[in-house]
Amino acid sequence: MIHVSLVQDEYSMEFLNQFKYSMETRGYHFIEQYLDEDRCAELKEKLMSAIEQFKPNQTERSQLDRYLIHDLLCQDIQFCQLLEDPRLQALLSMILDPYWILYAFTSSSLPPLGNNYGSRVHVDSPRFIPNYVTNVGVMWILDDFTLANGATKVLPGSHHSKVVPTNEYFEDNSVQLVCKKGSLVIFNARVWHRAGENTTERWRHSLTMNACRPYMKQRMDWVRAIPQEIATQLNDQARRIIGYDTRLPTHLGEFFVSDGERLYKPNQE
């Protein structure tokens, strides 16, 4: 695996080209020391609180997702501020386009001696379009990912095929993303993967995002879902990612406006 330690606001073109090549061939890449120790601790504390407060309803999906919190962006601005990072924009623009947006933002926590719904072999995008990426996965690692605590397993290069691998093939050919807390993992959402099994007595936490093309529908209406007292404090990049530049008009008064006032900004691929 390629280990790169960069804690700067901008990446060199050499690094970005290396990142792009890794994404095109293996389908994943990770960067160490993306978040510092204090930031990881703050985010993990807030995530653990959200898990404790989550009350599943009677639906099966709600029960399955009890360790995958889907509305963190609506709960605390610190989660939203991850979207303000210019490094994130530089990386995902290389794979999607400069106007990419958020499809989903959640978490992936493995309880002691357990797993979660993400521990099944799966992909995060059902669409297979050769040589065209529609979705990219991002993971902010808040605890060391180890073999013992269920480091995520990925099947390198599997984004190039529409064939669904058998569980046996996946286990024989996958690799585990062992990395330090504070790392950032980015992967093509067509790469087959799964969370591992946590065999330790401690929780293992991460935050995850699925990014998509600006013309695609989001999992949630994030513009309406995220409280205004949070959204108004964010920079233009984060607001674009949330979906403020890809809103739909609800009446002709919002439709017949100048380009600068349009809810769906022009010239977005």
Options 3.10.690.10, 2.60.120.620, 3.40.50.10790, 3.40.309.10; CATH of 13-261: 2.60.120.620
CB contact set of 29 (below 8 Å; sequence gap of 6+):
2, 19, 22, 23, 185, 186, 187
Helix runs in the chain, H state only: 13-25, 37-53, 60-64, 72-75, 77-80, 86-95, 167-173, 222-225, 228-231, 236-242, 252-255
- Give me the tens of pLDDT residue by residue for the chain, a chain 269 residues long: 333 333 345 789 999 999 999 999 999 999 999 999 999 999 999 999 999 999 988 898 888 888 999 999 999 999 999 999 999 999 999 999 999 999 999 999 999 999 998 889 999 999 999 999 999 999 999 999 999 999 999 999 999 999 999 999 999 999 999 999 999 999 999 999 999 999 999 999 999 999 999 999 999 999 999 999 999 999 999 999 999 999 999 999 999 999 889 999 988 87
Q: Which residues pair with 29 in a beta bridge?
A: 186
pTM: 0.93
Q: Which helix (H) or strand (E) is 187 found in, with range?
A: strand 184-188
**In this predicted structure, what is the pLDDT of residue 9?**
54
DSSP letter at 260? G
State whether residue 235 is helix, strand or coil: coil
Instruction: Tell how many helices (H) and how many strands (E) occur in the chain.
Output: 11, 8
Structural domain boundaries in the chain: 13-261
Tell me the DSSP string of 33-93: TSS-HHHHHHHHHHHHHHHHH----SSHHHHHTTTS-S-HHHH-HHHHGGGG-HHHHHHHH
Q: How far is C-alpha 16 from the geometric centre of its chain's CA atoms?
A: 19
Rounded to whole angstroms, the Cα distance separating 175 from 34 reads 22
Nearest C-alpha neighbor of 27 from the set 159, 144, 205? 159
